[in-house]
Amino acid sequence: MKNLFVTRAAAAMVAAALPLAAGAADKPESLKIGMTAFLTGPASVFGVPARDAAEILIENINAAGGINGVPVDISFIDEGAGAEALTSEYRRMVESGGAEVMLAAISSGNCQTLAPLAEDLQVPNLMWDCGTQRIFEENDYKYVFRTQANATPEMLATVLYLLKTKPDFKTIAVVNQDYAWGRDSWDIFITALKAMKPDVEVVAEFFPKFGSPDFSTEISRLQAMQPDVILSTSWGGDLDTFVQQASQRGLMNTSTFVLPLAESSLERLGSALPDGHIIGARGDHYFLHPERRNDEDFKAFMTQYEEKTGDVSVYPVFHASQAIAALKAAYEKAIADNSVDWPSEDQLLAALEGLTFQGLGRPVTLREDHQGVEDQLMGTSVQTGEYPFATMQNIMIFDGNELTTPVGQNSIEWVGALDAGFVESVTVDTFEN
């Protein structure tokens, strides 16, 4: 209790000193960072791979001598343990656990809860996975950064890929999980689609409850309606169930499925996902990333990860890599810019502004509103037989700069103002597979 009190006092003094002059800090024993991820609950399909990846990446950094000689020490908080446990543990880690930087969170809800808390606690927080575009559109933050894209470019890329590959469809239906992500992503998607293709007709909207074990009724209705395109931004077990049931009942032969998060389910879906359906990855995340797959570090990590987990990497792994890359880059930049042994908090925050870093995907840049600008990879499913599951062909990577809502604008309004011309104007790199 005593030394807790001491550290608290010290922390308080530093905090008090900060606004005046930001001097360098002493090199710590180790750089303590905390990361929140779902280790339990349905979303652990993302949390657990991300944790495994983070552990590998940190090991690699430390094996290479850490950051300017300081080893990194990461500990995790389970987002599945509920909001109270999460917030109080987050606070504890920062106030007395000595965490210098926090990586939070997967759930958009948790991001919106923790972002203000991070400001209160004055701890740099890298939002490493959550998708809501609202955070930086509704508030300004000093301590909060996002090291990947958000729902807007992700959905926009999906619309663009759909319009580029299947321009003349007429009808669309949606089956999304009934929670904020499912609702918001549909809002963005349909607003953008209507803007670029006004004649499209929405024939059905389903929002089955999160974690629904059975989509039979929805599928029956969809078969009765025969929409050209069926969108589902679902993920994890819900997506697997939906796709399995749909493909079993032949719905996937009559409609084109658009699945912006399917990259994270490819391995599990195995042969159930037929050719010709549109797949997204919430960024340029793909274990066969056309530009990176021959890169040595990339290949090395992929093998490391597969050896550790027995699975191929999915997008949360890439997101984790970006957050940690950003962390490393920011410290090194701060150290270089200020030519110090170890940066103060303000120096670190300064370094994060406009920082460019590269994880497993293409380089990402943090804008002045702290939103990461990340390119978006989309593809079409194909069963090549090379893997026991579907991979992607006709891959397109869109330029994040063109897809991310301009600073200070509201996503819905911005995408609503786009037009058909946008489809042709966007910069896109296309790859066979």
* Alpha carbon 367 to its chain's center: 16
Residue ranges in 126-165 that form contacts with another protein under rule CB under 8 A:
132
Nearer to another protein, 240 or 263 (CB): 240
Strands 144-146 and 125-127: parallel
The rounded distance, in Å, linking the Cα atoms of 283 and 261 is 10
Binding test (CB under 8 A) with another protein, winner from 55, 59, 291, 311: 311
- Give the one residue of 124, 227, 236, 400 binding another protein; rule: CB under 8 A: 236
Among 62, 171, 223, 383, binds another protein (CB under 8 A): 223
Backbone angles phi, psi at 278, to 5 degrees: -85, 130
Q: Which 199-218 positions form the footprint of another protein (CB under 8 A)?
A: 205-211, 213-214, 216-218
Concatenated DSSP letters of 112-162 = HHHHHHHHHHT--EEE-S---SHHHHH---SSEEESS--HHHHHHHHHHHH
Contact between 180 and another protein by CB under 8 A: the answer reads: yes
Residue among 18, 25, 81, 288 that touches another protein (CB under 8 A):
81
- Binding of another protein by 77 (CB under 8 A): yes
Return the closest-CA partner of residue 32 out of 97, 115, 125: 97
Please say which residue, 182 or 400, places its beta carbon nearer to another protein: 182
Q: Which stretch binds another protein (CB under 8 A): 191-199, 266-274, 372-380, 385-393?
A: 266-274
Report how many helices (DSSP H) and strands (DSSP E) the chain contains, helices first.
Answer: 17, 16
| Least distance CB 108 / another protein (angstroms) | 6
Nearest distance from C-beta of residue 166 to another protein, angstroms: 23
Q: Based on the shown chain and the rule CB under 8 A, indicate whether residue 308 belongs to the binding site for another protein.
A: no
Stretch that binds another protein, among 70-78, 277-285, 380-388, 410-418 (CB under 8 A): 70-78
Which of 118, 163, 192, 251 is the binder for another protein (CB under 8 A)? 251
Give me the DSSP letters along 292-354.
TTT-HHHHHHHHHHHHHHSS---HHHHHHHHHHHHHHHHHHHHHHHHT-SS--HHHHHHHHTT
Sole binder of another protein in the list 245, 393, 401, 410 (CB under 8 A) = 245
Q: Contact, 182 vs 207, CB < 8 A?
A: yes
Distances from the Cα of 420 to the Cα of 196, 201, 203, 230, angstroms: 4, 16, 21, 21
The one among 30, 113, 171, 410 contacting another protein by CB under 8 A: 113
Q: Which of 52, 137, 154, 240 binds another protein (CB under 8 A)?
A: 240
Q: How far is CA 245 from the centre of its chain?
A: 27
- What φ, ψ does residue 271 adopt, rounded to 5°? -85, -5
Return the residue of 14, 85, 336, 420 that touches another protein, per CB under 8 A. Answer: 85
| Span of 45-53, 195-203, 331-339, 369-377 interacting with another protein by CB under 8 A | 45-53
